[in-house]
Structure 1
Amino acid sequence: MGENRLIRERYRLIELIGRGGMGEVWRAQDEALGRKVAVKCLKPRNTSSDPAHTRAMEMRFRREARVAASLQHRGITVVHDFGEDDGVLYLVMELLDGRNLLQLLDDGQRIPLPVPDLMDIAEQVSAALAYTHAQGVVHRDLKPANIIRVPEGTVKICDFGIARLGHDIGFTSRLTGTGVAMGTPHYMSPEQIAGGEIDHRSDLYSFGCVLYELATGAPPFDLDDAWAVLVRHRDAAPEPPRQRRPELSEPLERLILDLLAKEPDDRPQDASVIGKRLAAIQATAERDGELPYWARGMTIGAEAVGRRPSRPDAEAASITGAWFNAAWAARPRHTLDPELLAVLASRHNAALSLGRLGRWAEAVEVHRAVTLAREEALGPEHPETLASRYELGFALSRLGQAQQALNEYEQVVAARTRVLGADHPQTLAARQETAFALGRLGRHEDAHRVYTDVLAARERTMGPEHPDTLRCRHNLAFNLGRLGRLQESYETAREVAAARSRVLGASHPDTLVTRFEVAYALGQLGRWEDALAEYRDVAAARTASLGPDHPDTLAARYEVGICLGRLGRSEEALKLYRELAAVRARTQGAEHAETLRARHGLGVNLGRLGRWREALAEARHVCEIRARVLGADHPDTLVSGREVAVALGWLGCWDEALGAYRTVAEGRERVLGANHPDTLTSRNDEAHCLEQLGRGAEAVELYRRVAAIRREYAS
């Protein structure tokens, strides 16, 4: 291979950036799309090569392409293309401008990572492993050199060269007759060394080896002789990490040692358990009065909003504030300090970790503080400042603060357009989030214009079936439905689902999300039988890949119940909602919003079956909990209030029903306004009650007022 070689008349090799046993990795230019990529090339065959070894290498290389291309996760390296050119197998991947964990260990000087960095990396890798294992993929060569941290803090697993899909592992756990090492000795599990059957728990052992090295500076069995290392993995207990580094916490040491258990059954049984234990380690530190690692050094008061303090206050510390110490406050504007920038990067990563834990309010505070600090130190249009502002918008969006999120995204879009160009992937990502925020604000026409522009740019620069292009088209389909363009929404979603199935696989989470949208559009079109079949397929696929109790699986089953009710099959719907309510209560709590939603559906179907006293009792109980948990004027509470009124009416209790309908109408008027369609529907309900009570004149007057408002807005 050589510089300037053109692979497949598209990928121009620019610079060799890595070489290993399988081949070379080049920095390259994708001349079709005008972007930088990494191209991994298998060493060309030659006549002196062992044919068996060559075949094994090709099999391994093709496997990497097949497995890696099937994975779509923030923590997994993206594969763009694969093929063969003039006898050379090549794999095109995203170009990562970062350092692997071996390099982070101070370039081989065996200096362990700071605990904040270790915890951040551990959380991200455990999330990525949870995803890959859920897809049935076992990496089988997890090690520090195969985990890369990019400058903004994201950690990615790469090199799936010897990974196997779960259904393949059932046939054989290794390639035979090749002499190819199936792993790296310092990180291999005992069962892998023995050549027996392996599953995802082998990756967890390797992950334990990685964490041990990050925590202590050396792998568990640090010997030069490979055979001696393998024997130790099989037979010897590792030295407890705290004997090498006493400041490590006991729970963290216990987690690492549990991962290094010799028997797979004695380890944590899946990567999601590791994530929960990492969160528990942090929670324990907070209960013991320690600041969480991501908040050490933070302060409150003027510092929390980015104003320079009038005096240093070493005692003022808060886990949700920003940090600005006296030394930083005294610095001239835009003075660059490597130590300061490193701490800011750590704070940025900490905020990302908070988001992954669902602690969005805290993430907002930290992202806002880091954004202000980076703007002060680096300028408002520096890539790191914009990265923090983008993540601040993302966290605000997840808190439901769509207008604030939109404000942040618009600043990012304007700056990235000036600095990077309108069609740069980072600019397009921010524009797409802008459209999402507009949709959340009900500005669906504005969102549609942005989605359409971004989609055209993505198709032009990335191709029609790039995952980012398909994500944009999915969002466009969703927005079309909110505009009432139901047939277009259905057709677009169906096209995206077919493309995602081709590119990602039929059971990939993104494919299933789009099929969920297809089913929703079918329901909106009144095609309830078709919607039912689609939702059931999604529920079955999610049960197989995520498990029967996963929230996404339960969401699909909930929609199955909606379809059954619409089709008049209320007995089946009632049975389904009872099961859902029980599972939700067990897994998420009796007062969780989704538990209450399932119970609401149960009550609705009791009414459809004419069991109105039971329906009234269920509706009242759900309404009472929603009012206490969500607030009296929350839309879900008001929906339950209306269900109470409906049941009272069917039971002939029209006086009580009138009071319930009025309460709902007044609540909707406060929240939505007097002229909102839902408010007007409630006023019509109120008029119907007046009619049933023989108060015809009042009913007619109310009907007329509602009709007049509707005519005014229709014109």
Structure 2
Amino acid sequence: MRDSAHLTTQADVTAGSAGEALPLRIGPYEILGLLGEGAMGRVYRAREAQPPREVALKVLQALGSSALSRFRREVEMLAQLEHPGIARLYAASDASSEAGGPPWLALEYVRGHDLLRHARERHLDLDARLRLLIDVCRAVHFAHGRGVIHRDLKPGNILVDDDGQPKVLDFGIARLADGWSRDVTQLGQVLGTVPYMSPEQLSGHSAQVDARSDVYALGCIAYELIGGRLPHPQLSTSTLFEAIDIVRHQAPEPLGRLAAAARGDLETVVMKALAGEPAQRYSSAAEFAADLERVRAHRPVEARPPTLGYLLARFVRRHRLASAAAAFSLLALVAASVVSLRLAWSEAAARREAEARAAEAGAVNGFLERMLVSADPERSQNDLTVRSVLDAAQAELGQAGLPPLAAARVSLTLATSLLRLGETARAEQLFGQSLQSLDPAAPLALRDALQVGQARALYTQQKYAAADALLLPLLQRTDPPLEKSIAIDARLAQAEGLLAQGKSAVAEELLRPLLKDAQTQLGESHALSLAISQNLGSTLRLAGRYDEAIALAQATLAAHLAKGGAEHPQTLKTRSLLGALYELKNDDAAAEAEFRGVLEVRTRVLGAAHPETTNAMQALASFQVRRGELDAGIALIHDVLEARRLRGEDSTPNNLLARNVLAYALEDQGRLAEAEAELRRVVAAQSRDGGPANAEAIGPRNNLAMLLLKQKRPADALVEFDALDKWMQANLPAGHPYFAIFASNRGECLAQLGRWQEARAVLEGAHAALAQKFGPAHERTRTAASRLAAVYRQLGEHARAAALDPVKAS
């Protein structure tokens, strides 16, 4: 049948295609109009008297034995399909039961539009489209459970009624999964609609057509409903032989490139349904529906990206030059595994050779890690991205059958790369699994490296006690001692953990001697030496020692430029740090040069829409806002917000911080109501996610409270300060600087409310903590002192006020 069959949106036809008059009646039905026709027959809109209802009357025109056999089979199948998502069969007749009359089927008449038109005209959001797809999948699975394969699923065969219920139509070319007749469907005969047909259907391999063929068609429908176009648009105009060649040798464009909101799990799920090989697809429509439901619920999906071998095979066909690098990376893992085995089996006679091979493996793995860190961690314009390689390699690792030692070495590389990409929970799990699987006789250095990696992943997730429990015994061990590089990395991980807890002074005490040790033992240009230098620079910035921090960052930048070049990610990261330091020193020209330089490189190398480019845009916009270039900063931050909205990243922690910057700018323009709305939007999003994602994300709630103070609404501000205190207690370790900084603000709020004794107690504690943390001359300490002096004056304690603020006390 044509796609127009059953559609109620088209005007009814009153005559056949050749001007032929419509019959008045067929059987017990009054004919009202022609809905559609095809090679096998026509579909009329008709009226039944008892019970009174309209039906879609499908009439068979071809009276040959093959067509009649197919018709009777359709009746048999449809009679089994009583489901709300399938158009019902009311009655049927064949020529033998009604002398001289044509065979017919009386089907449920669905008032509605086809799936795509319904979604388009109702402006359905992604979640509503997923609900429709899930309903369709479940209806198709119901049919599969009764041995019925549709074989011609497409949007035109799915109507959505006025209640939003999708109905699957036209099982006219379906076949029974069992007991089918070769007289009905000849081997090699192609039945279906080409753009939605699976490769096995296009090839005419009827024996291979099963439920997974319908899953493929459902994948096509999902792809088109979400992405706005077919997986292979050219199939609509291609010949059958061209179509076979296309689906065999061309992979559909990843769905996330067409619809940013589909990136991640949804793309993985839909592309799995569209796999060229049936074994790679979901085995049932119910499994497809279940994973779509998991996407809606933001739960882990069962689908996994294609295996590494499958990805590479597809990639090589289109990008032979790029695939050489990927192949070398894969060889790096294999080489590491082989050498691991030699290390495990080495005897005295082979020790020298094994050590040489170990050194070679270290170099190869080093290259692999550098490649993974330097490459694009998001879905860019290449099919083989860092994330897809890691996902495929991790999925393949469990099935590769590698010996535990070899698997552990591969896991170390994968988990380290996952950690660098921000996949902290996955990294922690992989580190831990590898540690547990190690044989007691495994090399101690491998165990130590895995343990340091797991501790670092725990620190990043704010699991400080668990991280210390792993790391401190390593640091205290003297027999046998840690290898040099592992010992330095363990000390660096400890310092990073202290910085995450806000203990910057203690971290600095560790980082200074550590930097000297690393430069002496590993070299000034070693990756660990540069990482330590960068962490020490950040620590000095927090302490307000900007000149020293700038000198160190400049030296680190020179080393990065010499080692990795101007476009290396670590080079750009150091330039961003320098920009922030120059700004703190009020050297706006130098700061702007760094921010703009980073943005120029990111845009040129990665493109304007890449996540790292939008991060650089956000840094420049923040600088412009702080410098008072409000119009320019607001325009740029709006570009950032729009780019992330298109990628489905509206509520990510970094984007919420961008909205915080926008609120600053709006406040400085006097647009206080708009600024408050932005900050409340940020806080609401954080509250829905269970609180702030990290320490930096706590700031917007403080900013909201301070904005309310600015509007002379201290009671409202205190509500936010109370909630802010709960957030800090839940997310920050004791002694974090934010406790003192925000306590100073809370004290100001209490003072505005006239609660002087409470304000005094809060501000005395905040002032003492800030003086200890930053020193008496620091801006934050002076602000707290000024606020406390004002409270002392209100309480009549002028001598105390004079000691803190002699100018105002005089």
TM (normalized to structure 1)?
A: 0.51
1:221-256 Cα offsets, whole Å, 9 max, x none, are xxxxxxxxxxxxxxxxxxxxxxxxxxxxxxxxxxxx
Alignment correspondent of 2:603: 501
Whether the 8 Å contact between 1:436 and 1:447 is mirrored in structure 2 is yes
Aligned to 2:274: none
Partner of 1:471: 573
Map of 1:435-454 to 2, 5 A cutoff?
435-454=537-556
Partner of 1:548, secondary structure, is coil
What does residue range 66-77 of structure 1 map to in structure 2 within 5 Å?
none
* Residue 665, structure 1, aligned to residue 763, structure 2: yes
Give the 3-state SS of the residue equivalent to 2:395 in structure 1: helix
What is the identity percentage for the equivalent residue pairs of Structure 1 and Structure 2?
Answer: 20
Distance change in 2, residues 1:591/1:537 (3 Å): closer
Provide the rounded CA distance (Å) in 1 between the counterparts of 2:336 and 2:733: 49
CA contact (8 A) 1:501 1:511 kept: yes
TM-aligned CA deviation for residue 448 of structure 1: 1.2
- Note closer, same or farther for the CA distance 1:629–1:691 as it changes in structure 2 (3 Å cut): same
After superposition, the Cα gap between the structure-2 partners of 1:455 and 1:105, relative to the gap in structure 1 and judged at 3 Å, is closer
Number of aligned positions between the proteins: 460
Aligned to 1:366: 470
Aligned to 1:554: 656
Displacement of 1:278 in angstroms is 8.3
Alpha-carbon distance change, 476 to 91 in structure 1, aligned in 2, over 3 angstroms: farther
1:152/1:349 contact within 8 Å kept? no
Q: Cα distance 1:415–1:91, how it changes in 2: closer, same or farther (>3 A)?
A: farther
Q: Aligned pair in 2 of structure 1 residues 420, 148: CA closer, same or farther (>3 Å)?
A: closer
Change (3 A) 1:358 1:545: farther
The aligned residue for residue 344 of structure 1 is 448
Match of residue 671, structure 2, among 555, 566, 569: 569
The structure, 1 or 2, with the larger RCO (C-alpha pairs under 8 Å, 6+ apart) is: 1
Alpha-carbon separation, structure 1, partners of 2:492 and 2:735 = 32
CA 1:390/1:96 → structure 2, altered by over 3 Å: closer, same or farther? Answer: farther
What letter corresponds to residue 499 of structure 2 in structure 1?
A: S
In 1, the alpha carbon distance for the partners of 2:723 and 2:374 equals 53
Give yes or no for contact 1:149–1:155 (8 Å, CA) kept in 2: no
CA displacement, residues 453-483 of structure 1 (integer Å, 9 cap, x when unaligned):
2223333454333333222221111122233
Q: CA deviation at 1:677?
A: 4.0
3-state DSSP class of the match of 2:570? helix
Q: 1:567 to 1:207 in 2, by over 3 A?
A: same
CA distance in 1, matches of 2:767, 2:577: 31
Question: Cα 1:602–1:214, aligned 2, differ >3 Å: closer, same or farther?
Answer: farther
CA distance in 2, matches of 1:472, 1:400: 21
Structure 1 residues 575 and 212: alpha-carbon distance in aligned structure 2, compared to 1, 3 A threshold: same
Q: 1:208 aligns with which of 381, 389, 395?
A: 395
The 1:540–1:615 alpha-carbon spacing in structure 2 relative to 1, beyond 3 Å, is same
- C-alpha contact (below 8 Å) 2:546/2:585 kept by paired residues: yes
CA drift at 1:378: 6.1
Equivalent AA in structure 1 for residue 580 of structure 2: F
In structure 1, the residue corresponding to 2:608 is in which secondary structure? Answer: coil
Deviation, 1:91, is 10
Which residue pairs with 1:524 in the alignment?
626
**SS of residue in 2 equivalent to 1:150:** helix
User: Is structure 2 residue 370 aligned with structure 1 residue 150?
Assistant: no
CA–CA distance in 2 between the matches of 1:461 and 1:595?
A: 34
Check whether the contact 2:751–2:759 (CA below 8 A) recurs between aligned residues: no
- 1:135 — aligned with what? none
Deviation at 1:518, TM superposition (A): 2.0
Q: How does 1:211-360 map to 2 (within 5 A)?
A: 211-214=398-401, 294=435, 339-355=443-459, 357-360=461-464
* Matching residue of 1:301: none
- TM-superposed CA distance for 1:576, in Å, is 1.7
Match of 1:252 in 2: none
The amino acid that maps onto 2:658 is A
Say which SS state the counterpart of residue 212 (structure 1) adopts.
Answer: coil
- CA–CA distance in 2 between the matches of 1:103 and 1:429? 27
Q: How big is each residue's C-alpha offset from its partner over 1:171-194, in whole Å with a ceiling of 9 and x where there is no partner?
A: xxxxxxxxxxxx9xxxxxxxxxxx
Distance 1:622 1:409, change over 3 A: closer
Q: Distance in 2 between matches of 1:415 and 1:202?
A: 35
In the alignment, is the contact (CA less than 8 A) between 1:691 and 1:699 conserved in 2? yes
C-alpha distance in structure 2 between counterparts of 1:514 and 1:278, whole Å: 26
Residue 397 of structure 1 is matched in structure 2 by 499
Deviation for aligned residue 1:662: 1.9
Residue 450 (structure 1) shift:
1.0
Q: How far did 1:585 drift?
A: 0.9
- Deviation of 1:622 after TM superposition, in Å, equals 3.9
Contact residue 662 and residue 682 of structure 1 kept, 8 A: no
Whole-angstrom distance in 1 between the partners of 2:661 and 2:336: 47
Equivalent residue, structure 2, for 1:580: 682
> For residue 805 of structure 2, what is the aligned residue in structure 1?
706
Cα RMSD for the two superposed structures: 5.5
* Structure 2 unaligned blocks of 5 or more: 1-249, 258-307, 309-319, 345-361, 405-420
Equivalent-residue separation in structure 1 for 2:327 and 2:786 (angstroms): 60
Shift of 1:666: 0.6
CA drift of 1:584 comes to: 0.4
Secondary structure class of the residue paired with 1:549: coil
Structure 1 unpaired stretches of 5+: 1-59, 68-75, 77-87, 113-146, 170-182, 184-199, 218-271, 283-290, 299-324, 326-336
Residues 619-665 of structure 1 show CA distances to partners (whole Å, capped at 9, x for unaligned) of 45545765787699865455555555555665xx53x2x32442343
Does the 8 A contact of 1:454 with 1:472 survive in 2? Answer: yes
Q: Decide which structure has the larger Cα Rg and report it.
A: 2
Q: Report how far residue 93 of structure 1 moved.
A: 7.5
Q: 3-state SS of the aligned residue for 1:568? A: coil
Letter in 1 for 2:537: A
8 Å CA contact retained: 2:691, 2:727:
no
Counterpart residue identity of residue 400, structure 2: E
Aligned to 2:39: none
- Supply the distance in 2 between the matched residues of 1:679 and 1:484 (Cα, whole angstroms): 20
Partners of 1:600 and 1:530 lie apart in 2 by 25
The residue number in structure 2 matching 1:615 is: 717
Whether 2:700 is the aligned partner of 1:605: answer no
> Which position in structure 1 is the counterpart of 2:780?
678
Structure 2 residue corresponding to 1:514, chosen from 616, 622, 629: 616
Secondary structure, counterpart of 1:422 in structure 2:
coil
User: Could you tell me whether the CA contact under 8 Å between 1:367 and 1:388 is conserved in 2?
Assistant: yes
Pick the aligned partner of 1:430 from 524, 532, 548: 532
CA distance in 2, matches of 1:456, 1:205: 36
Q: Does the 8 A contact of 2:746 with 2:762 survive in 1?
A: no
Counterpart Cα distance in 1 of 2:451 and 2:737:
37
DSSP-derived class of the 2:640 partner: helix
The aligned residue for residue 458 of structure 1 is 560
Alpha-carbon contact 2:653-2:693 (below 8 Å) kept:
no
Q: How much has 1:413 moved relative to structure 2?
A: 3.2
For 2:625 and 2:706, how far apart are their aligned partners in 1?
18
Q: Which residue of 1 aligns with 2:105?
A: none
Please report how far the alpha carbon of residue 159 of structure 1 lies from its aligned counterpart in structure 2 after TM superposition.
Answer: 13
Secondary structure of residue in 1 paired with 2:398: helix
Q: Does the Cα contact within 8 Å between 2:489 and 2:528 map onto a contact in 1?
A: no
TM-score (structure 2 length as normaliser): 0.46
Range 527-536 or range 469-478, more displaced: 527-536
